């Protein structure tokens, strides 16, 4: 059984593994049907997608018509203006075939210029608050990739009381002292304010560089073996009261679900350093 926990202040008891909808970005409806059947079979009750994830929202839509009550549903917008965000929300509602989204998130909010626009008058934050007040969304969050995300999320939480944050977390990334300090400050703030912490990049092995992309993981080459996936997922799940979003690849998904089912404790630094050495693990973002 995949463990569950209260998803911050939302009142929803989510599986600690959340399905990352990027895996369906290039999927056919038939492939998506198989994946969503697998989620039901394994008891995964939380989906994270985005308007910008190719086919993802449209593939999930037919399942929401039948199984809306079985999933906490999250999506995102990359827009930074009020008007653009409102248009994105309507598209997402139409694609997903629902009348409301459980969690709407500002996608990749890490650029300072974009941040100022999003948080200022006529920015996406205005659209977020309005959509929540109208009942089109229930909760609001912020996401980001890259090494500066924890610091930017801290800035965002100073500006507005978001319900959730989403950012990278894995063993190698946390060896960066500057990242680790900001990450730990952020997660402590989230703990104090009951803000849900979602983590990504748990199974990242190294940048793709000049290797052919054999998996649908945009930023990184993932681990492939079950042992390495187990240890990396277990390490990320070792962060108390957090949630791991699955990698954006349909082949890796079942292995991550299997890993989550077996989670008991966080692997030691010795075990993780063995993985780093054996698989030539490298950071995927520079600071």
pLDDT along the chain (287 residues), means of 10: 96 98 97 97 98 97 96 98 98 98 97 96 98 98 95 98 98 96 98 98 93 88 97 98 97 98 97 97 86
> Does residue 273 form part of some domain?
yes
Q: Torsions phi, psi of 75, nearest 5?
A: -140, 180
Q: What is the pLDDT of residue 152?
A: 97
Instruction: Give one DSSP letter per residue of 150-172, joined into a string.
Output: HHHHHHHHHHS--SEEEEE--TT
> Does residue 37 form part of some domain?
yes
> Does residue 148 form part of some domain?
yes
Nearest to 50 by CA among 201, 245, 234, 212: 245
> Does residue 220 form part of some domain?
yes
Q: What is the pLDDT of residue 132?
A: 98
Residue 191: CATH number of its domain: 3.20.20.100
CA atoms within 13 A on the CB side of 128: 28
Q: What is the pLDDT of residue 10?
A: 98
Q: What is the pLDDT of residue 287?
A: 66
> Does residue 2 form part of some domain?
no
Looking at the chain, how many residues does it have? 287
> Does residue 285 form part of some domain?
no
Q: How many folded domains does the chain comprise? A: 1
Residue 99 belongs to domain spanning? 11-279
Q: What is the pLDDT of residue 37?
A: 97
């Amino acid at each position: 059984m995949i463990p569950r926990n209260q998803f911050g202040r939302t009142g929803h008891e989510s599986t600690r593994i959340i399905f990352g909808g990027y895996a369906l970005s290039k999927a056919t409806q038939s492939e998506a049907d198989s994946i969503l059947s697998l989620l039901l079979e394994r008891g995964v009750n939380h989906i994270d997608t985005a308007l910008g994830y190719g086919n993802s929202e449209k593939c999930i839509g037919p399942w929401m018509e039948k199984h809306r009550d079985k999933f906490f549903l999250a999506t995102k917008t990359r827009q930074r203006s009020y008007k653009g965000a409102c248009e994105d929300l309507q598209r997402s509602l139409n694609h997903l075939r629902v009348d409301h989204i459980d969690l709407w998130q500002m996608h990749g909010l890490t650029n300072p210029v974009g941040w100022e626009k999003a948080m200022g008058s006529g920015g996406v934050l205005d659209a977020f608050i309005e959509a929540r007040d109208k009942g089109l969304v229930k909760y609001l969050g912020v996401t980001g990739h890259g090494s500066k995300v924890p610091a930017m999320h801290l800035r965002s939480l100073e500006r507005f009381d978001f319900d959730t944050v989403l950012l990278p977390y894995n063993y190698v990334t946390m060896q960066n002292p500057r990242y680790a300090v900001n990450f730990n400050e952020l997660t402590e703030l989230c703990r104090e304010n009951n803000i849900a912490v979602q983590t990504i990049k748990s199974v990242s092995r190294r940048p793709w560089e000049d290797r052919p992309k054999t998996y649908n993981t945009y930023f990184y080459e993932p681990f492939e073996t079950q042992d390495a996936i187990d240890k990396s997922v277990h390490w990320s799940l070792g962060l108390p009261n957090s949630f791991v979003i699955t990698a954006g690849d349909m082949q890796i998904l079942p292995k991550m679900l299997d890993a989550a089912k077996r989670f008991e404790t966080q692997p030691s630094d010795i075990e993780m350093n063995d993985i780093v050495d054996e698989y030539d693990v490298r950071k995927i973002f520079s600071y």
